[in-house]
Amino acid sequence: MDMLHALIGRMSLDYLPHEPATIGAAIGMPLGLLVVLGLVTYFKKWRYLWNFVTSLDAKKIGIMYIVVAIIMLVRGLSDALMIRAQTAVSVGGHSGPFSTDTFQQVFTAHGTIMIFFVAMGLMFGLINVALPLMLGVRDVAFPWLNSVSFWLFAAGMILCNFSLIFGGFSNGGWLGYPPLTELQYNPGPGVDYWIWSLQIAGVGSLLSGINFFVTIIKCRAPGMTLMKMPIFAWSVLVTTTLLMMAFPILTATLTMLALDRTMGMHFFTSDLGGNPMMYINLIWAWGHPEVYILVMPAFGIFSDVVSTFSRKKIFGYPTMVAALTAIMFFSFIVWQHHFFTMGAGGDVNAFFGIMTAVIAIPTGVKIFNWLFTMYRGRIHFGAAMWWFMAFVFTFTLGGVTGVLMSIPALDFQVHNTLFLVAHFHNVIIGGVVFGFFSGVTYWWPKIFGFKLHEGLGKLSAVLWQLGFLLAFMPLYALGLMGAVRRIDHYTDPSWTPFFIVSAVGVGLICLGVATMILMLFVSLKKRNELLDTTGDPWDGRTLEWATTSPAPEYNFAVLPTVHDRDEWWYRKQHGIKASDDGEIKDITVPKNSALGIYIAVTGGLFSFGVIWHIWWLVAVSFVATVVLIITRVMDDNTERTITADELRQEANV
């Protein structure tokens, strides 16, 4: 028995799923994976796939991020559907389809997946695709590190989803507040799955943050000063700054919670001096900047989309930059507004309340700048612009309810109610999600060489917008009526109609996602009609449109020399050709490397070992990780050369 225990830790058959919903998922997910792998084998695409996944080309890494994020969007959405299906029926004597424990795991998974694996995934995906092109350079500063980041992200995602098959997920909410998530109340592996999937994905995010930050500071096309960068690049600069200051706090906090759970420490326990409120402080010192980390790239995308589709340069560029920087600064001194009810006292609450309200000012500056950019522009209402229209309306509404809740006295009334849930979905769906969908629509031709079907894109935006309103407006009302968040059962039948409307709204959002998937298929089918032959399908303004679609591995044969903020527009106006940038010379690009995948595998096994207390696995995978890193670090032969002749040939074809 002891031998077995040493070998497999605390794993046992009791941890297999035993509820219909989880059994279904536990069978469905591996089957889906098998089908995909079967198709790859059938079409003999293994070599192609391997070359793709080991590539260090930022654009390919970006595509992988986006693919993972879209799959996870479907997962997170089915969680949302389950949550609202439950609350639509479980009133009074009726119980819903899910047990309380399953319900708790579902809302925890919903929040965790949507933030970490959908929003973060889309964000890093779009940055990878667009940023180097926009800066007029060939790649990010550290291409290999970029691949490690992605694969750590993927490992976190797999760990999070694997919990469905074996062991169950955390039931502690997306931020895992102790003491509920401490060993005393939660001895199973669920919380450990949550901790470690976030931990390794978080390390990946931190490395990405460093990578993009250095890319912007050190690698820009000649002539591109900071104040000549497109707004999207600015938004990435401030986002990565926040990321680098916030994510180490997450790493430290999760480590402390993990130490409590696996080493018997007392950071956040309710006995022996532990301080659960300290966790709440620490996690929000990361968590509040995190929401700005997500939304600022979306602001950047909208800035470029609006100016492109209005045929005008962005209104008030310096104020846009100042607003981004101000938001970056303020977002670090508002975290306490997540727990005004903690009892920090009137003066502390007043400070954080005022700072929270103040953030609305730079955000308002941005909204007005976008609107002024549109004013007297020749607006072309493409699908990317429809997402923007949905965004302005929805996000502004969410911002207003946010300012409402920044008043501590009012916040006491709605703290932890569905009002809050409605508010943050209002800004995250309206801001982050709509922004990233707009970005995907906008840059799709640059990634794949053909446009997405515009009609279906617009239909999807409409369905999302209507679905959002139906799903969340009732929650505002319910919150004011006193419905707390995360309930799986309630007694007041007058709430039921609101919950039913909300469930219908989630259904509409599902239709919106279905339309998007349909759009992908239709666009793929009609790709010859939607082909982008010029490399500049939207009459764009920034450098990513100066190269062919899809962009070559090296982005630009000769790095462009920058004259203006809207460099590509300037070039079109002044007739500057790529050949004016200088002679074609030999260039180097990074070779493929599978080490990122291997490191993610050993990192994932390390985490798995800690979750299940399999200590030999922890030791082995730790050593393996160190060896893999040393292998790469000591290897100086990681690049290959593309000669000038090859570049010229490719340009002629």
Partner 1 sequence: MNELAARADKTNFGFWIYLMTDMVLFASLFATFMILKDATAGGVSGHDILDPSYALAETIILLTSSVTCGIASAAYRFKKIDLAKILLFVTILLGVSFLTLELHEFIKLATEGNSWQASAFLSGFFTLVATHGLHISIGLIWAITLFYAILQRGADENLTRKVGLFALFWHFLDIVWIFIFAVVYLIGGLS
Binding site for partner 1 (CB under 8 A): 141-142, 206, 209-211, 213-214, 217-219, 244-245, 247-249, 251-253, 255-256, 259-260, 263-267, 269, 271-275, 278, 282, 588, 626, 630, 633-634, 636
CB of 247 to partner 1, least distance (A): 7
Q: Which is nearer to partner 1, 1 or 272 (CB)?
A: 272
Tell me whether strands 639-642 and 587-590 are parallel, antiparallel or unpaired. Answer: antiparallel
Nearest distance from C-beta of residue 527 to partner 1, angstroms: 38
Q: How far is the CB of 636 from partner 1 (least distance, A)?
A: 5
Nearer to partner 1, 256 or 462 (CB): 256
What are the angstrom distances between the C-alpha of 242 and each of 117, 252, 255, 465, 649?
19, 16, 20, 29, 43
Minimum Å gap between C-beta 236 and partner 1 is 15
- Rounded to 10 degrees, what is the CA torsion of 58, 64, 68, 69? 40
**Which class for 44: exposed (0-12), middle (13-18), buried (19 or more C-beta within 10 A)?**
exposed
Cα separation, 278 vs 267, in Å, equals 8
Of 13 and 634, the one with the shorter C-beta distance to partner 1 is 634
Q: Work out the angle between the directed axes of helices 100-112 and 143-165 (0-180°, nearest 10).
A: 170
Q: Which residue carries 């970056």 as its tokens?
A: 328
Dist. CA 258–CA 15, nearest whole Å: 20
Kindly state the smallest distance separating residue 260's Cβ from partner 1, in Å: 8
Nearest distance from residue 141's CB to partner 1, in Å? Answer: 5
CA distances from 354 to 50, 361, 407, 457 (A): 53, 12, 8, 40
Query: Would you state the structure tokens that stand for residue 151, as one six-digit string?
Result: 């694969």
Measured in Å, how far apart are the chain's first and last C-alpha atoms? 68
Q: How far is the CB of 285 from partner 1 (least distance, A)?
A: 8
Question: Smallest distance from the beta carbon of 225 to partner 1, in angstroms?
Answer: 17
Specify the residue, 272 or 653, whose C-beta has the smaller distance to partner 1: 272
Whether residue 330 contacts residue 359, with contact meaning beta carbons closer than 8 Å, is answered with: yes
- Distance of closest approach, residue 244 Cβ to partner 1, in angstroms: 5
CB-nearer residue toward partner 1: 34 or 630 = 630
As measured in angstroms, the least distance from the Cβ of 644 to partner 1 is: 16
d(CA 439, CA 516) in angstroms, rounded, equals 14
Our CB check for partner 1 shows the closer of 227 and 630 to be: 630
- State the minimum distance, in angstroms, from the CB of residue 249 to partner 1: 5
In the complex with partner 1, the residue whose CB is nearer, 85 or 278, is 278
Closest contact distance (angstroms) between CB of 574 and partner 1 is 29
Q: Which is nearer to partner 1, 54 or 262 (CB)?
A: 262
In this structure, are residues 475 and 407 in contact, taking their beta carbons and an 8 Å threshold? no
Beta bridge partners of 91: 490
Q: Which is nearer to partner 1, 97 or 274 (CB)?
A: 274
CA angle 134, 138, 140 (to 5 degrees): 80
Q: Which tokens hold the place of 423?
A: 């508010």
Angle formed at CA 310 by CA 445 and CA 430, multiple of 5 degrees: 75
Phi, psi torsion values for 417, nearest 5 degrees: -105, 180
Rounded to a whole number of angstroms, the minimum distance from the CB of residue 594 to partner 1 is 21
CA-CA-CA-CA torsion sign (204, 205, 207, 212): positive
Question: Residue 200 and residue 347: Cα distance in Å, rounded?
Answer: 38
By beta-carbon proximity to partner 1, the closer residue of 79 and 192 is: 192
What are the counts of helices (DSSP H) followed by strands (DSSP E) for the chain?
22, 2
> Least distance from C-beta 203 to partner 1, angstroms?
11
Q: Toward partner 1, which CB reaches closer, 245 or 404?
A: 245
Q: Two tokens at 473?
A: 């407006």
Closer residue to partner 1 (CB): 269 or 502: 269
Cα 147 to Cα 131: distance, rounded to the nearest angstrom: 16
Nearer to partner 1 among residue 249 and residue 301 (C-beta): 249
Two tokens at 443? 């840059």
CA–CA gap between residue 446 and residue 42 (Å, rounded): 29
**CB contact set of 318 (below 8 Å; sequence gap of 6+):** 227
Complex with partner 1: residue 115 or 210, whichever CB lies closer: 210
DSSP 8-state assignment for residue 223: T
- Alpha-carbon distance of 631 to 626, in angstroms, equals 9
Could you tell me the two tokens for 98? Answer: 């899910």
- Considering the complex, what minimum distance in angstroms separates the CB of residue 608 from partner 1? 21
- Integer Cα distance of 457 and 384 in angstroms: 8
478 token code pair: 């319910």
Measured from the CB atom, is 529 or 635 closer to partner 1?
635
